[in-house]
């Protein structure tokens, strides 16, 4: 995160744009769950709150910087790495990019702006009628089932990439050059720094009802554990915009980020989440408790 903030500082000061990529086998395997685990075990809740807040501020800084920010992912692009991509102005993804918000598996929800971003993108799609609930469920299940795309193309279907905005390139060798060319084109056309959104439509209790009934049915049918049900409800609460009575009420991005952080911290305080993180760290396995 420090590196990303320094990169934005340098780019805004001395360069025309910022490209986020690397030359490793994978773009990012996700956030540092070890650090989250240590802070939670020590019950350093204020430090953990500040850490999550810093992550959120970093991704929001990418979104609202004064210069174009382009992410050029390849290989595994999970968790925090996926959130970085989702907050870039544009993603130029290699065809073999496997994107996903996988935090559910360790008893958490995406806490670096990913849950907020899904709610925002959903809000931009919402229309009246039955289509509304279907759109919500499709977005919700991408995170709730920790879906990872089998290619960059499938990432569009899962909601990680934006049709008409993000692009896929087949040649890994040409990816960076194409990303640079795209960024410079954005500059030449007159890049305008966007403003934080205060018009995000959320579904409130209409969506929460869907989540609660669905999660209860899955738990009763033994398709998910009682603890999975709790995480599912926390995720739904954030994506629905909390317990707002009127569907399509407009809220700010910061409002959603605050909900996201609250739910994330509440899950970090749960013993079963810590057991899941410990299982991943020590055994490399996802625990279903």
Average pLDDT for the chain: 95
For residue range 236-251, list pLDDT tens digits in order: 999 999 999 998 999 9
Mean pLDDT on 184-191:
97
Least Cα distance to 287 among 235, 225, 233, 236 occurs for 225
Residue 128 pLDDT exceeds 80: no
Q: Which pLDDT value is given to residue 130?
A: 57
Q: How far is CA 276 from the centre of its chain?
A: 20
Q: Among residues of the chain, what percentage have pLDDT more than 90?
A: 93
Do you know the residue count of the chain?
289
Residues β-bridged to residue 201:
250
Q: Which two tokens stand for residue 81?
A: 């790495």
- Quote the pLDDT of residue 228: 97
Cα 56 to Cα 16: distance, rounded to the nearest angstrom: 24
Q: What is the percentage of the chain residues whose pLDDT exceeds 70? A: 99
Q: At residue 133, does pLDDT exceed 90?
A: no
Q: DSSP labels for 32-58? A: -HHHHHHHHHTT-HHHHHHHHHHHHHH
pLDDT digits (tens, 9 = 90+) for 137-162: 999 999 999 999 999 999 999 999 99
3 state SS of 194? coil
Average pLDDT score over residue span 51-60: 98
Domains of the chain: 2-283 (3.90.226.10)
Contact 98, 77 (CB under 8 A): yes
Mean pLDDT of 109-118: 98
């Amino acid at each position: 995160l420090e590196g990303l903030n320094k990169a934005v500082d340098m780019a805004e000061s001395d360069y025309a744009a910022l490209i986020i990529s690397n030359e490793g086998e994978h773009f990012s395997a996700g956030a540092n769950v070890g650090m989250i685990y240590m802070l939670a075990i020590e019950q350093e809740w204020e430090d953990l709150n500040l850490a999550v807040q810093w992550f959120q501020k970093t991704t929001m800084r990418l979104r609202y910087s004064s210069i174009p920010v382009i992410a050029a992912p390849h290989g595994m692009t999970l968790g925090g790495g996926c959130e970085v991509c989702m907050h870039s102005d544009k993603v130029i993804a290699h065809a073999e990019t496997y994107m996903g918000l996988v935090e559910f598996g360790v008893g958490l929800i995406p806490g670096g702006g990913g849950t907020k971003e899904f709610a925002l993108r959903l809000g931009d799609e919402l229309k009246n009628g039955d289509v509304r609930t279907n759109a919500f469920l499709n977005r919700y299940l991408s995170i709730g089932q920790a879906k990872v795309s089998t290619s960059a193309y499938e990432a569009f279907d899962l909601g990680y990439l934006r049709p008409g905005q993000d692009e896929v390139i087949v040649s890994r060798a040409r990816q960076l050059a194409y990303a640079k060319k795209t960024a410079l084109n954005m500059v030449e056309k007159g890049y305008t720094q966007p403003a934080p959104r205060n018009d995000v439509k959320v579904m409130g209790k209409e969506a929460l009802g869907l989540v609660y009934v669905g999660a209860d049915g899955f738990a009763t049918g033994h398709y998910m554990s009682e603890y999975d049900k709790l995480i599912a409800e926390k995720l739904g609460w954030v994506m629905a915009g909390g317990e707002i009575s009127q569907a399509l009420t407009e809220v700010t991005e910061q409002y959603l980020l605050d909900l996201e952080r609250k739910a994330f911290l509440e899950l970090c305080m749960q013993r079963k989440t810590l057991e899941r993180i410990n299982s991943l760290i020590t055994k490399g396995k996802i625990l279903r408790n």
